[in-house]
Amino acid sequence: MLVKLVSWNVNGVRAVSAKPDWRWFSETDAQVVGLQETKASPEQVPEPVREPEGWRAWWDPCTVRKGYSGVAVFSRIEPLKVEYELPDPAWQGEGRLLHLEFPWFHYFNGYFPNGGAEELDAEGRPTGGFKRLGYKMGFFEAFVDYAQKCRQTKPVVVCGDFNIACEPIDLARPEDNEKTTGFLPVERDFMKRFKALGYVDTFRRVHGDVPEKYTWWSYKARARPRNVGWRLDYFFVSEELAPAIVDAWIESDVHGSDHCPVGVALRVGAD
């Protein structure tokens, strides 16, 4: 069976679903769609978007701050189980993770934290630190522990906005961003350790080191038309599922958000 999965940080589902760009959803042939940064509770979303015909839908909104964070999953395949957030309450409340168990794999849709604003000293000078970096790295470590436990029963698929560019090839100006959250050494070291545990970057597995392939562009300075971007959105699979990868892609022609969708196709089970 060929299963297609797509992921998109929509930067506000109410805003993007009101744009012509939202036709992307009705036109997708994917069986599973993961959205990040929905910035809405389900009751705030129009019913055709909240519960699209032909889909099952699950929403995990942020409960600690309105209009912030949040993820959603839509599936044409009935999951065996659905879980919200990480098990540890320390990492709950921001609506950052949905876990669906399917017959072939554990699927995680995550909106992983960013490092937050740069910290300043009493005179307003940068200190080199970031207000949310500790939370970000703690969340990642907790997620990996949980994914590894789930992996003991079946393979793992992880999609979403990781808020990290893994390698210099994954952003347009790596030298200028070595002290910018999203490309800090501690963040890249984490991604290296994650891959070393046996998690495969599906886009790189299919396309190799093809350059200038990004998934996020700042709204400033016409970054997207000039393709001055970052690759922050991924599909990873645990290595035991790597032989099932048929294709992986970036839908850079889809607008409506500062991110674009990404996808993967997996051959699983019997046809």
Enumerate the active-site residues: 161
Q: How far apart are the first and last CA of the chain?
A: 4
Q: Which residues on neighbouring strands pair with residue 97, listed in sequence order? A: 110
- Contact (CB, 8 A) for 113 and 127: no
Tokens of 263: 């996808």
Cβ 159 vs Cβ 235: under 8 Å: yes
Beta bridge partners of 120: 126
What is the widest separation between alpha-carbon atoms in the chain?
64
Q: At what angle do helices 133-151 and 185-196 cross, to 10 degrees?
A: 0
Question: 46 is written with which tokens?
Answer: 């129009």
- Give dist(CA 167, CA 189) in Å, integer: 10
> Per this entry, what is the length of the chain?
271
